[in-house]
Amino acid sequence: MQVLILGSGVIGTSVAYYLARAGHEVTVLERQPAPALETSFGNAGEVSPGYSAPWAGPGVPVKAIKWMLMQHSPLVIKPMLDPAMWHWGLSMLRNCTQARYETNKGRMVRLAEYSRDCLKALRADTGIRYDERMQGTLQLFRTQQQLDGTAKDVEVLKASGVPYQVLDREGCVPYEPALATVKEKFVGGLRLPGDETGDCFKFTQALARLAEAHGVKFRFGVNIQAIEHNAGQGVTAVRTDAGHFTADRYVVALGSYSPALVRPLGIRLPVYPVKGFSITVPITDARGAPESTVMDETFKVAVTRLGDRIRVGGTAQLSGFDLKLDAGRRDTLEHVVTDLFPKGGNVRDASFWTGLRPMTPDGTPVIGATRIPNLMLSTGHGTLGWTMAAGTGRVMADLVAGRSPDIDMEGLTVARYGG
Ligand SMILES: Cc1cc2nc3c(=O)[nH]c(=O)nc-3n(C[C@H](O)[C@H](O)[C@H](O)COP(=O)(O)OP(=O)(O)OC[C@H]3O[C@@H](n4cnc5c(N)ncnc54)[C@H](O)[C@@H]3O)c2cc1C
């Protein structure tokens, strides 16, 4: 079957790889000159099924107000006359009940855990390298209240069978020896030994090369303008600035830019860009750098070792599609990494980046079939697109082939929004 994939972030590229491996004829359209140059470029590097949970949860509205008042705030809202933003925000608030949180988390964990297994199998099959580490992740608490507050999370982890360790201050140090010099800054942590880390950009680039070896054609520098369709045939072509492209099946994997392109087809996709930032610091003293990911719970900033670099990522900013690099956000990231890893590297030599998380209000991505028989979606992966990429690729390849995926698709398609 001929399949056209729109977008070559980590999601579109993973879908392309698994489809090609299953024997399909795949073309990928991408406006950038290479894969993973937008949101999949500079993320925090966590492959973390253990932390798969929606942002919308009980108590979050009150926490959000507190966060916005902090000096190094993890949440920034720039009020705009953007109906999509308000609609998305209200819908997110409606997802803050305990019942919805549990439903949404269950759906996310289902895909994230499957994805971790697919990533392991992919490594074993291909030997793909991407500065990967399998040393777990550590959520670090600066206050006793935060540490005591883990009781609820621990219940959820227990119920989902996710291995975990609750650690006191001394207990954190063997896993992250560089923290020994700043022990007074924290009281303990929650470690998830099953989590992994790695560079999403390197992974996507390497996977694109493997996909090419299986026959995938990447068309870079192509701007997608519209998805053409009619009532009888469904999608008939994709119009771009390089002409029209046709196929038997079409997969939309355009991250935050997906809703605008499917809206004329009558599909309302509540995916909104939630801006995040990262800095990448060259390591000057490996003993002063993290071993894996340390997630600073106070500032919601993740500090991750990626080869000879430290990636520091965080902040949720609602400000539409604006890609301006805010100096204030950089200050927050620099503050966290110099506070916890003062000797790891020099933040003056860091590069600064921003990306738009394609977020749904319930945290769960939108993958699989639509009402239009030859059109499928693979977007809305929000905070966890890197974690969920391999599993998404496998699921989409099964669906295109008409096979039942290994995981239940309940609650993962656009049907949950009536789309
Ligand atoms: C600060 C930050 C930290 C993060 N940390 C983590 C983490 O630790 N772990 C994790 O799992 N996830 C993390 N994420 C989330 C993760 O990065 C995203 O979920 C993921 O990259 C989304 O991938 P995607 O392929 O859907 O989107 P993208 O990477 O944005 O890909 C979409 C592609 O479509 C192309 N495109 C869009 N419009 C057009 C058009 N009109 N024509 C042609 N091409 C087009 C774009 O160029 C782009 O390449 C983080 C995100 C941010 C911002």
Residue where a domain terminates, one of 341, 359, 377: 359
In this structure, are 259 and 385 located in the same domain?
yes
Report how far residue 230's alpha carbon sits from residue 210's, in angstroms, rounded to the nearest whole number: 35
Phi, psi of 248 (to 5 degrees): -80, -35
For 350-382, the pLDDT digits (tens) are 999 999 999 999 999 999 999 999 999 999 999
Reported in sequence order, the residue ranges of 81-120 that DSSP labels E, i.e. its strands, are: none
Q: Is 57 in the pocket of ligand 1 (CB under 6 A)?
A: no
Its sign, for the CA torsion 410, 197, 257, 324, is positive
Q: Whose CA is nearest to atom 41 of ligand 1?
A: 224
Residue where a domain terminates, one of 338, 359, 380: 359
Question: Which of 359, 358, 372 has its CA nearest to residue 251?
Answer: 372
In a domain, 158, yes or no: yes
Q: Is 379 in the pocket of ligand 1 (CB under 6 A)?
A: yes
In a domain, 110, yes or no: no
In this structure, are 141 and 251 located in the same domain?
no
How many whole angstroms from 146 Cα to the centroid of ligand 1? 30
Q: Is 74 in the pocket of ligand 1 (CB under 6 A)?
A: no
CA–CA distances in Å: residue 385 to residues 141, 223, 322, 358: 25, 22, 20, 9
Which pLDDT belongs to residue 367? Answer: 98
Which pLDDT belongs to residue 296? Answer: 97
Residue 278 half-sphere exposure toward CB, CA atoms < 13 A: 24
In this structure, are 147 and 220 located in the same domain?
no
In a domain, 308, yes or no: yes
How many whole angstroms from 183 Cα to the centroid of ligand 1? 35
**How many folded domains does the chain comprise?**
2
CATH of the domain at 307: 3.30.9.10
Q: Is 382 in the pocket of ligand 1 (CB under 6 A)?
A: yes
Residue where a domain terminates, one of 359, 376, 404: 359
In this structure, are 66 and 185 located in the same domain?
yes
Which pLDDT belongs to residue 389? Answer: 98
Q: Is 30 in the pocket of ligand 1 (CB under 6 A)?
A: yes
| Domain with 408 in it | 2-40+202-269+363-417
pTM of the predicted model as reported, rounded to 2 decimal places: 0.97
In this structure, are 187 and 294 located in the same domain?
yes
How many whole angstroms from 172 Cα to the centroid of ligand 1? 32
In a domain, 118, yes or no: no
How many whole angstroms from 357 Cα to the centroid of ligand 1? 6
In a domain, 122, yes or no: no
Q: Is 383 in the pocket of ligand 1 (CB under 6 A)?
A: yes
Of 43, 295, 301, best ligand 1 pocket probe by most atoms within 8 Å of the beta carbon: 43
Q: Is the pLDDT of residue 80 over 80?
A: no
In a domain, 286, yes or no: yes
In this structure, are 344 and 278 located in the same domain?
yes
In this structure, are 276 and 390 located in the same domain?
no
For 84-143, the pLDDT digits (tens) are 899 999 999 999 999 999 899 999 999 999 999 999 999 999 999 999 999 999 999 999
Residue 211 · residue 145 · CB < 8 Å? no
Q: Which atom of ligand 1 lies closest to the CA of 379? A: 26
Q: Which atom of ligand 1 lies closest to the CA of 315? A: 1
Average pLDDT on 253-269 reads: 97
Q: Is 240 in the pocket of ligand 1 (CB under 6 A)?
A: no
Q: Which atom of ligand 1 lies closest to the CA of 355? A: 53
Phi, psi of 374 (to 5 degrees): -100, 15
Q: Whose CA is nearest to atom 27 of ligand 1?
A: 255
In a domain, 295, yes or no: yes
In this structure, are 186 and 54 located in the same domain?
yes
In this structure, are 413 and 279 located in the same domain?
no
Question: Which of 303, 302, 419, 319 has its CA nearest to residue 370?
Answer: 419
The region of weakest confidence among 25-34, 49-58, 122-131, 283-292 is 49-58
How many whole angstroms from 273 Cα to the centroid of ligand 1? 10
DSSP string, 313-354: EEEEEE-TT-----HHHHHHHHHHHHHH-TTTB-GGG-EEEE
CA–CA distances in Å: residue 130 to residues 86, 202, 204: 38, 5, 9
